[in-house]
Amino acid sequence: MACSPGELFFHTIASESEKYTASIVFVHGLWCTPALWHGFMGYLAHRGWACHAVDLRSGTAAADAVTTDVEARLRRFIAARGAPPVLIGHDTGALLAIACRDVARAVVGLAPMLPESLPVVGNNWVARILRRRKDESEAVPPPVGLQAQDRFGPKLPGDTIHESSRFLRELRALHLRPKSNGPPTVLVGGGRDTISPASRVDRWAQEIGAETYVVDAGHPMAWGPGWQKRVDEVHRWLVHRLGESLLIPPDEEELPT
């Protein structure tokens, strides 16, 4: 883990043999940490990608996180990569990735939180929590019971965290309708996703000029059952859409040590 003052903490897995001219930056969703990307990062690093998973809450108390500040820090992190990276986000992390796609090489949104769902952040349980918690200094704990099952599946993706009430209320401030002439973007909907239904993901993809496809998965498609197939699909989509320009010329590839 590394961090600069006022910036995002991040986890890095170096590529086993660097093959691509872009790195990948992973962006987690609500109540999650970068730990959810462990499987994706290991798979893609083995195939030649340098991978970074940002911690959106690093350096900020849970009750103090502000959406606009998180987006600004993510943009600074992207700028520090040098060449525009590929952004892969899940849930609200997908929204942040799409909001930043003007500085990305390509964007992949897995089970993206839908704009029309943001007032209740995907379910009425959160809406009730926010109505009760008028004080923005309070933090919202992870869901429990059926809400947790829908969002996280049977197995949590590592540690969960509390979310800022203010962060949840401000999510709609994100620039969610970027121009359709941006970099290649794909939204992946889950056929069993009750939080971000695939039909609405497809409709939103058309609005923002993104590609879309549906997989047999629920909301936790980045770590739930079948995640290995998801990451393989993402890898193949990136290589296909970015083409030869993605490849480091053979004489410039990192030599084995």
pTM given for the model: 0.87
Query: Measuring CA to CA, which residue among 19, 178, 10 is closest to residue 81?
Result: 10
Q: From CA 131, how far away is CA 162, in angstroms rounded?
A: 17
Q: Is the predicted pLDDT of residue 151 greater than 50, yes or no?
A: yes
Mean pLDDT score across all residues of the chain: 82
Query: Measuring CA to CA, which residue among 41, 98, 118, 83 is closest to residue 212?
Result: 98
Query: Measuring CA to CA, which residue among 162, 151, 161, 123 is closest to residue 223?
Result: 151
What tokens does 194 get?
A: 């009750």
Report the chain's terminal Cα–Cα distance, integer Å. Answer: 24
Beta-bridged to residue 89, according to DSSP, are 27, 109
The DSSP H or E segment spanning 248 is: none
pLDDT band at 242 (very low <50, low <70, confident <90, very high): very high
Q: In the 3-class helix/strand/coil scheme, how is 114-166 assigned residue by residue?
A: CHHHHHHCCCHHHHHHHHHCCCCCCEECCCCHHHHHHHHCCCCCCCCCCEEHH
What tokens does 189 get?
A: 């909907």
What pLDDT was estimated at residue 192? 95
Whether the CB-CB separation of 19 and 248 falls below 8 Å is answered with: yes
Residues 83-96: what's their mean pLDDT? 94
Q: From CA 82, how far away is CA 23, in angstroms rounded?
A: 10
CATH number of 9-252: 3.40.50.1820
What one-letter code names the amino acid at 137?
Answer: S
What tokens does 230 get?
A: 């998801």
> Backbone phi, then psi, for 10, in 5-degree steps?
-150, 155
Task: Report domain extents, the chain.
Answer: 9-252
Q: Which of 13-17, 163-167, 169-173 has the lowest mean pLDDT?
A: 169-173
